């Protein structure tokens, strides 16, 4: 075989190896959709041309996104529902930006431990089943968002590993449910609900021998 024959063989041998090493994260399509909707400015070092596992403030394990830590970046635009396709996501930190539109449904993210989304411009909280399947959730923070009125959903009781639930100044109405107690949520230490439109009585579950007693700041 002549020179060009050799070149051909080399090229056809190296091509598959090359594409293997360039294999993109299986979360690439979801991350790309998320990136396209955060505008006009993208998070620092996010580029749809590169593997999302190399983006700034994103970490992966086994090619799957596990943390997104894009707080304090003056981001606006919306957060795509595609975020619920990131099935290995552990930590979502997006606080102190200007993200707007509906808060994404994160249902089924069974690994997710932390949601820090406080101080944004989200306009709607998707109540009903929000907490179903969020079996690992420990930190939930949505304070200071101009949501349409919403009530703390019944599905919150499924997030039995919660340590903190903070939703001050988030336009919550209705009553504080009874399930914030040491039976349902033995790890709960912080319950922060100040500056809302809550009504009714403080739940009886707040008193008594239950340890720890959650900290509640009602509206003044």
Whether residue 124 contacts residue 144, with contact meaning beta carbons closer than 8 Å, is answered with no
Question: At its nearest, how many Å lie between ligand NAG and the CB of residue 120?
Answer: 8
Judged on CB neighbours under 10 Å (0-12, 13-18, 19+), 128 is: exposed
Q: Which of 151, 160, 171, 182 binds ligand NAG (CB under 6 A)?
A: 171
**Smallest gap from residue 204 Cβ to ligand NAG (A):** 28
* For ligand NAG, the closer CB: 100 or 160: 100
**Among residues 14, 54, 59, 148, which is the contact residue for ligand NAG, using CB under 6 A?**
148
Tell me how far apart the alpha carbons of residues 35 and 42 are, in angstroms, rounded to a whole number. 7
Cα separation, 6 vs 147, whole angstroms: 65
* Residue whose CB is less far from ligand NAG, 98 or 219: 98
Tokens of 26: 């299986």
CA of residue 39 relative to chain centroid, distance: 18
Which positions from 104 to 133 touch ligand NAG by CB under 6 A, shown as an x/- string? -----------------x-x----------
Among 28, 76, 87, 138, binds ligand NAG (CB under 6 A): 76
The burial class, CB within 10 Å (0-12 / 13-18 / 19+), for 43 is buried
**Residue 6 binds ligand NAG (CB under 6 A):** no
Stretch that binds ligand NAG, among 29-37, 94-102, 104-112, 200-208 (CB under 6 A): 94-102
Q: Which of 146, 208, 212, 217 binds ligand NAG (CB under 6 A)?
A: 146
**Residue 2: other Cβ atoms inside 10 A:** 7
Asked if 74 interacts with ligand NAG (CB under 6 A), we say yes
The only residue of 98, 187, 207, 218 in contact with ligand NAG, by rule CB under 6 A: 98
Query: Could you tell me which stretch among 58-66, 105-113, 142-150, 181-189 binds ligand NAG (CB under 6 A)?
Result: 142-150
CB of 92 to ligand NAG, least distance (A): 17
Which residues bind to ligand NAG, rule: CB under 6 A? 74, 76, 96-98, 100, 121, 123, 146, 148-149, 171
């Amino acid at each position: 075989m002549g020179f060009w024959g050799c070149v051909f063989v080399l090229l056809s041998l190296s091509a598959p190896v090359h594409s293997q090493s360039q294999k993109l994260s299986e979360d690439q399509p979801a991350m790309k959709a998320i990136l396209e909707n955060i505008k006009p400015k993208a998070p620092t070092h996010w580029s749809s041309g590169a593997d999302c596992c190399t983006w700034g403030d994103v970490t992966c394990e086994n090619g799957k996104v596990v943390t997104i830590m894009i707080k304090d970046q003056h981001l606006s635009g919306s957060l795509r529902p595609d975020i619920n396709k990131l099935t290995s996501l552990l930590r979502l930190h997006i606080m102190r930006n200007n993200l707007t539109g509906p808060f994404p449904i994160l249902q089924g993210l069974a690994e997710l431990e932390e949601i820090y989304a406080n101080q944004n411009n989200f306009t709607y909280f998707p109540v009903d089943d929000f907490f179903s399947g969020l079996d690992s959730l420990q930190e939930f923070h949505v304070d200071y968002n101009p949501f349409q009125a919403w009530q703390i959903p019944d599905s919150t009781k499924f997030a039995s590993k919660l340590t903190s639930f903070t939703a001050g100044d988030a336009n919550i109405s209705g009553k504080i449910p009874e399930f914030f107690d040491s039976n349902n949520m033995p790890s709960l230490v912080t319950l922060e609900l100040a500056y809302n439109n809550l009504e009714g009585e403080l739940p009886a579950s707040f008193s008594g021998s239950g340890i720890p007693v959650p900290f509640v700041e009602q509206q003044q």
